[in-house]
Amino acid sequence: MTALRNLTLAGALGLSLLAVGCTDTDHHEHHASRDYDHYDRYDNSRASADVERAVGTSRSLPRDARMVDEVRGGRMSYTARDSGAVSLYDATARTVVWDGHVRDGDHVTVNPDKNRIEINGKEQADIDLKSNHRFELYSTDRSRRY
């Protein structure tokens, strides 16, 4: 009888350790997945194919790009503080849809509702921006970032 009770306790203990181990693994995978999502902006291999991209646009963001504005269903703008590049990232589709070069003082505006991407008031691309998507504007200008 004692052997049966010990076996039952050992089985219960083993199952509880297994359950705790699974919880810890799920927790680790959740963090790994979240960390991977951060790098999706730099790796376009999982991008959605149902969005239009401007001709000649890079497949991924430069590693030194920093977000300067974001919007869903509105207008965004950015004034360059030095020469560099700007990229429009469709966060919903997980892909870069446009990129271009700017000089110090250039004003970039993006209005997905009107399918407009402009630098200093001049249209830069004729592409369909999904107005219900979330967009992020990135810059690689060489200005100090302190």
Domain ranges of the chain: 2-41, 43-139
Residue 100: exposure state from Cβ atoms within 10 A (0-12, 13-18, ≥19): middle
Q: Is the distance from CB of 40 to CB of 114 less than 8 angstroms?
A: no
Cα distance between residue 8 and residue 129, in whole Å: 62
Confidence of residue 13 (pLDDT cuts 50, 70, 90): low
- The DSSP bridge partners found for residue 111 are 116
pLDDT for residue 59: 83
Output the pLDDT for position 29.
Answer: 37
- Determine the pLDDT at residue 79: 96
The model's pLDDT over 101-146, given as tens digits with 9 standing for 90+, comes to 999 999 999 999 999 999 999 999 989 999 899 999 999 976 644 3
Structural contact between residues 78 and 97, judged by C-beta atoms closer than 8 angstroms:
no
Write out the two tokens for 33: 């997945």
pTM: 0.65
pLDDT value, residue 73: 78
pLDDT digits (tens, 9 = 90+) for 71-109: 987 899 999 999 999 999 999 999 999 999 999 999 999
